[in-house]
Each structure stands twice: as structure tokens, then as C-alpha cells.
Amino acid sequence: MAGSSGRWRNIGHYNARGIHGGRALAEGIDKMVTGIESPVDSERGLAARLRYLTASDAGYEAMDRAGVHVRPRTLIAWLAEEQTPSKANLTRLDAAYWELRRRNVVADLKRRLNKGGRGTRIEIDPVDQSRVHSRHRRDLERGLETRVINVRGNVWDRAVDAWIAGNEPELEAIWDEIIQGALGTDWDAYTYVSSVGWAA
């Protein structure tokens, strides 16, 4: 990708702080996923997670992927609150819950981000150069500023699919397409960002 091999490739070399826009996209999508607020080590939080995970085959599969390997009678004891999972299994149950939650909201995320074809406006905050010596700052003569663009089309469907698959190269490629199409000759300066945010 041109963005990853261009002027901003060594983003941290002179203490500039930022992440690739593809990763920022993933973090933004992550923030849209809501779920049980009570911590897994609380009685209420554990019970809610166990109910959610044991309500479908997909939940049992998520527990298996997370490494929750216990006998059926142990799981029954957890559900009956007669036994408490070990700290390690609590961590695994929480991971399984959030993985399943993410998978179950994929369609909703796509709908919210596409907004019936209108797309979603995103705000791009440039890399933080406050710790970079002035002689090493990029584009210092014109400065980098927060940019707002509207993202529409099949981009959000692809981004959500890449996010749920954990496909970082695809997210990076999608980000490069977004900024090349919207920012013109400035796009390379926004390959890496401080953050990307939106309301959807």
C-alpha cells in the first residue's frame, strides 16, 4: 500500500504518536458494541453472561474458542450459582461473551453505519506531533488539521466484515481507499492518525 510505504511509514521514529487509520476504524467499530456493563466477577455480570452464552449453539462454540472446557455438570453448577468459575475461566467467559456479542451485532452495525445509503460522517484527528522536534515535523509549513469526511457505499460493509474477521491488512487497505478518495493529495498525511470518530 502506498500509504504504508510513503512518507509516514516510520511514524514513531521522531516521537510522533498515532496509529494506522485501519486500526482506528476497528477501534471505532468496537466502541459501537454495547453489552453487559456489570463486571464478569460480579454475581449479576457472571449470571448474565452465562445466560447469553448458553442460549444458543453459537454461544457454546464461542466458549469453546475461548478455552472454556468444563464438564456439563460444572456449567450447570455455574448457572445455578452453586459454584464460581476460577479467575482464568471468568476471563475466558468474558472473552467468549464479547466475541459472541460482536458476531451478533454485525448486521446492526452495518445498518447503522450505512444509514440507508447516506453513509456516516467521520472525524479524523491527525497524528500528534507535539513531542516531535520542529525540524522533523511533517507538513509543518501548512499544518495538519482535523478533517471531516462522509463515508458511504460498500465501504462500511467491508470494514465491518474485516473487523469481525480480525483482518488488519484489509482494514488498512480500506482506510487507504477512504482517504485517497476523500482527501486528494493530502491523503498520505492521514494514513496514521491520533483517532477516528463518528456518531452512529
pLDDT at residue 6, as a whole number: 46
pTM: 0.81
* pLDDT single digits (tens) 144-188: 789 999 999 899 999 999 999 999 999 999 999 999 999 888 888
CA distance 88 to 179: 42
Q: Could you identify the residue written with the cell 499544518?
A: 143
pLDDT at residue 71, as a whole number: 96
Q: Classify burial at 137, counting beta carbons within 10 Å of its beta carbon; exposed 0-12, middle 13-18, buried 19 or more.
A: middle
Most confident of 10-24, 26-40, 172-186: 26-40
